[in-house]
Amino acid sequence: MRLSRAHELWRRFLNMASLALTGICAIVVMAPVFVILAYLVVNGIRSLNIEFLTSLPKSPGETGGGMANAIVGSFYMVGLALMLSLPVGVGAGVYLAEFGRTRYAHVVRFMADVLNGVPSIVIGVSVWALLVVPMRSFSALAGGVALSFIMIPMIARTTEEMVRAVPNVLREASLGLGATYARTMWSVVLPAARGGIVTGVMLALARVFGEAAPLLFTALGNRFWNLYLDRPMANLPTQIYEYAKSPYEDWHRQAWAAALVLIIVVLVLNIIARVSTRERYRALR
Amino acid sequence: MTTVMFPRQEEAIAPPPPKISTRNLNVYYGDFHAIKDVSLDILPNHITALIGPSGCGKSTFLRCLNRMNDLIEGARVEGSVLLDGQDVNDPRTDVVALRRRVGMVFQRPNPFPMSIYDNVAYGPRIHGIRRRSVLNEIVERSLRQAALWDEVKDKLRQSALALSGGQQQRLCIARVLAVEPEVLLMDEPASALDPTATFRIEELMQELKSQYTIVIVTHNMQQAARVSQYTGFFFKGELYEFGETAKIFTNPEKRETENYIRGRFG
Amino acid sequence: MGRAADASAGVQVRRRGEGVTFWSDRLFRTVVVTCASVLGLLLLFFAYELWQSSTLSVRTFGWQFWVSREWDPVRERFGALPFIWGTLVTSIAALVIAVPLSLGTAIFIAEVAPRWLRQPVSFVVELLAAIPSVVYGLWGMFVMVPWLREHVQKPLVERFGHIPLFAGPAVGVSMMAAILVLAVMIIPYITAVSREVILAVPQAQREASYSLGATKWETIRRVVLRYARVGILGAVILGYGRAVGETMAVTMVIGNRPDMTLSLLQPGYTMASVIANEFTEATSPLYLSALTEIGLLLFAITLLINALARLLVWRVSRGEVRY
């Protein structure tokens, strides 16, 4: 075959140029992470102080005050969501892993994946109709339930993967000793998959901790302390949204501080997730 | 079965320069020393077979000849591989051009998920041939060379994956032939095929021999004896013995070679 | 992975048979099946609640709701067309920006980058997905929007203001701002799934291409991407689903005005953002019902998109798609 020299040179050039272009894509894609984190740190640290962390919001227009109630409220509702979603999510995940080849399991798995893609604002509206309308009040309960609906499919899918990754020899060893199947799952398989499940749970927590959309008209927000389930509750994401929309300089400042707190919590949860996976994989292999 | 072919007379009198020669070739995968000090000459227009038990390094050696080992993470090659006297491992060597000259057929048929036609035309196309008529010509010639034309000439637009395993492997050979390489490396090309398909491939190699330099790795000793003129026996990463096929199989010098050929291990 | 699952299938079937001999095992099975059923019930529940709450609007406006451009809470005349328009424009434009960047990044991670660089780059890209929507919105509002107005939109209006796409004035909050934020937000999803799909392409395919004298780029473009294209399509559709449903960040930068304009520099409104922005202010039952009906449509659309994407990605990961 006669090769044209010009074409051969062009091919080599195209190769280098295209590969370099993929690198440029990666740089462009990574840039926003650093830019946004830098803005958060710079703008957030200026406003992050003891008062912000420990006091209640001041009246609109007044300077000072903080988001203590929103910080507590966020943890409160995320904790509530965890309690509601963990048993169901893990149970569903175990089902998918252990009985996953049935027709019904395929349907369930498909539903879990589709649920993962339902916009959180839609979940907010549904829970509003379910709880807020009949209770005639926005409530922490509604907020927690909305968040748990986001978490359940996430936890189910990671649990499935982790339980499935538990080697069959472990199951057989336990069954071979005469343990019942339920006993084997509870005492052998689930503990072996624990690290991976923790990872999934942490990632789900990180996701919902930053969610504002499902809380806008379920938990609503609150300028005062509240620890009752049936009353509106403050939380960081919606507070950031409200403050950012407001016309007050000082509230903008506080929104940055709140965003910094939010991102720190989210990153810590992500890092815990990563560390527990790494240990798990080391143990399993 | 017993048609062992010998080098023709005139070549024995004035041996041609080797097409490929390796000198003190060493390959490491991380800490593992896969190829130890292999020096070997491969003559043009002959079939050279490399045999040995699995894990002996014969495939690794083959992959050195067109630098396929570059693709393996952690592989390190030392020593020289000379193609027409030029060092393949020289940093200035254009590996893309090298691989066009030294084509390879793999153990498992690996057609692209495209039509039969597009599979064969892949190579010519990337090398800049656009003219439909030229491509048609190349595709037909390559498929004929690979003895596949009659079976597929009416379904060139169909998926290559619909072909049988043996046909797929011949398609892969046609695909290599389409770029007109000088050397054909075959890494156990028939190990995934049934006896009939294997026979077709072996027949094909005999036909291709006059135009190409062929190196075949096989763990099937009968196959090596049937098709090749020269045979190298690899054992534990070393080239234990190399010589004319007839001699290796009838009168090996080393005890390990004899043991292997008699089927005592591997 | 697939093979392991196959291998354990036999064991699972047998185990199931053994399992039901003990009451505890039967209980266990009942419990996990119930949990799994919750997933399906959730979907039905969302659909039911949304349908229930939007019946008033459906009955009042009928099909007019989807084609009317009027959104007047005072006179209680509601039409969803401006929001559908805004959602379509922003999500599709975001996809146009995000897909090439995501593909390039996925290729870089899977094929080009030296091994030691792969993990860190993947990690940083995943961080993009970890940043909460409201934080993107905050940054967008206070950093990106003013910057866009001064350095992008004003020059655009001056030079290309006569083209409807860039008609002025430059106000900052705009469809353009929403598009950029959306693009950044969906990139990590498209990248992650594409990377997985690309990594799943058999090495034999690459070797075949290299052995014919192809360059790395030729191998990627003509063999790897071709082999992976169905999975990549799934990744793109998945990303599109995200873009359609994304709420907070969009609400904070798009300007929230129910106009239908061709200009990317003008404020717009999306289905998700009108719900977020007006739901708590909606006082009349009809207003609430109209907003819920938009939610219902959003739900239906994302359901379809995700179902489609999942089917594609599944088929690929199960190795069914070849040609």
pLDDT at C312 over 70: yes
Instruction: Give residue B193's pLDDT.
Output: 83
Cα–Cα distance list, A41 to A48, C148, C253 (Å)? 10, 22, 21
Please report, for the domain that includes residue A147, its CATH number: 1.10.3720.10
The answer to whether C42 contacts A212, with C-beta atoms less than 8 Å apart, is no
Instruction: Give residue B1's pLDDT.
Output: 43
Query: Is residue A11 within 8 angstroms of chain B, CB to CB?
Result: yes
**Residue matched to tokens 């006091």:** A55
Sign of CA dihedral C291, C293, C294, C299: positive
Residue A192 has which token pair? 């072996």
* Eight-state DSSP code of residue B115: B
The shortest C-alpha distance from B183 to chain C (Å) reads 11
Cα–Cα distance list, C63 to B219, C78, C212, C293, C296 (Å)? 72, 11, 59, 12, 14
Query: Is residue A271 within 8 angstroms of chain C, CB to CB?
Result: no
Q: How many Cα atoms sit within 13 Å of C154 on the Cβ side? A: 7
**SS3 per-residue string spanning B207-266:** HHCCCCEEEEECCCHHHHHHHCCEEEEEECCEEEEEEEHHHHHHCCCCHHHHHHHCCCCC
pLDDT at B2 over 50: no
Give the C-alpha separation, A147 to B227, whole Å: 70
pLDDT at A197 over 50: yes
- Give the relative orientation of helices A140-165 and A120-127 as an angle to the nearest 10 degrees: 130
Instruction: Give residue A2's pLDDT.
Output: 67
The answer to whether A3 contacts B180, with C-beta atoms less than 8 Å apart, is no
pLDDT per position as a tens digit, A83-108: 999 999 999 999 999 888 888 999 99
pTM for this structure? 0.90
Query: Is residue C117 within 8 angstroms of chain A, CB to CB?
Result: no
Chain A residues inside the 8 Å CB shell of B128: 3-4, 7-8, 11
The C residues from 40 to 99 touching B (CB cutoff 8 Å) are none
First to last CA, chain B: 22
Closest residue of A to C50, CA-based? Answer: A126
Give the C-alpha separation, B60 to B32, whole Å: 12
Chain A residues inside the 8 Å CB shell of C210: none
Report the DSSP beta bridge partners of residue B102: B183
pLDDT at B123 over 80: yes
Neighbours of A241 (CB within 10 A): 25
Give the C-alpha separation, C244 to A28, whole Å: 23
Residue C36 neighbours by CB under 8 Å, 6+ apart: A91, A92, A95, A96, A104, A105, A108, A156
The answer to whether B128 contacts A12, with C-beta atoms less than 8 Å apart, is no
The C residues from 60 to 99 touching A (CB cutoff 8 Å) are none
Give the C-alpha separation, B203 to A80, whole Å: 73
What is the four-CA torsion angle of A272, A275, A281, A283, rounded to 10 degrees?
-100
The answer to whether B179 contacts C202, with C-beta atoms less than 8 Å apart, is no
C213 → closest Cβ in B96, B112, B159: B96
* Side chain identity, residue A210: G
Residue C62 neighbours by CB under 8 Å, 6+ apart: none
Task: For chain C, list the domains and their CATH numbers.
Answer: 66-317 (1.10.3720.10)
The answer to whether C203 contacts B71, with C-beta atoms less than 8 Å apart, is yes
Chain B residues inside the 8 Å CB shell of C210: 68, 71, 99
pLDDT at B63 over 90: yes
Residue A93 within any structural domain of the chain = yes
The string of DSSP codes covering A113-182 is HHHHTS-HHHHHHHHIIIIIHHHTS--HHHHHHHHHHHHHHHHHHHHHHHHHHS-HHHHHHHHHTT--HH
Query: Is residue A96 within 8 angstroms of chain C, CB to CB?
Result: yes
Residue A98 has which token pair? 């252990």
Nearest residue to C272 (alpha-carbon basis) of C252, C289, B259, A12: C252
The superfamily (CATH) of domain B17-261 is P-loop containing nucleotide triphosphate hydrolases (3.40.50.300)
The count of structural domains within chain A is: 1
Neighbours of B76 (CB within 10 A): 12
Domain chopping of chain B, boundaries: 17-261
Chain B residues inside the 8 Å CB shell of C322: 113, 159, 161
ipTM of the complex in this document: 0.93
A284 and A166 in contact (C-beta within 8 Å)?
yes
Distance of CA B147 to the CA centre of its chain: 17
The answer to whether A11 contacts B96, with C-beta atoms less than 8 Å apart, is yes
Sign of CA dihedral C16, C22, C28, C33: positive
Chain C residues inside the 8 Å CB shell of B180: none
Instruction: Give residue C16's pLDDT.
Output: 45
pLDDT at C158 over 50: yes
Residue C5 pLDDT class (50, 70, 90 cuts):
very low
**SS3 per-residue string spanning chain C:** CHHHHHHHHHHHHHHHHHHCCCHHHHHHHHHHHHHHHHHHHHHHHHHHHHHHHHHHHHHHHCCHHHHCCCEECCCCEECCHHHHHHHHHHHHHHHHHHHHHHHHHHHHHHHHCCHHHHHHHHHHHHHHHHCCHHHHHHHHHHHHHHHHHHHHHHHHHHHHCCCHHHCCCCCCCCHHHHHHHHHHHHHHHHHHHHHHHHHCCCHHHHHHHHCCCCCHHHHHHHHHHHHHHHHHHHHHHHHHHHHHHCCHHHHHHCCCCCCCCCCCCCCCCCHHHHHHHHCCCCCCHHHHHHHHHHHHHHHHHHHHHHHHHHHHHHHHHCCCCCC
The C residues from 190 to 209 touching B (CB cutoff 8 Å) are 202-209
Chain B neighbours, 3+ Cβ pairs < 8 A: A, C
Residue C18 pLDDT class (50, 70, 90 cuts):
very low
pLDDT per position as a tens digit, B221-230: 889 999 999 9
* Side chain identity, residue C267: P
Does residue A119 have a cis peptide bond before it, meaning omega lies within 30 degrees of 0? no
pLDDT per position as a tens digit, C202-224: 999 999 999 999 999 999 999 99
**Residue matched to tokens 């020393």:** B33
- Burial of C95 from C-beta contacts in 10 A (0-12 / 13-18 / 19+): buried
- Which region among A178-182, B46-50, B78-82, C129-133 has the lowest average model confidence (pLDDT)? A178-182
Mean pLDDT of A111-139: 94
B112 → closest Cβ in C203, C205, C213: C205
pLDDT per position as a tens digit, C223-273: 999 999 999 999 999 999 999 999 999 999 999 999 898 999 999 999 999
pLDDT per position as a tens digit, C26-72: 888 899 999 999 998 999 999 999 999 999 999 999 999 999 999 99
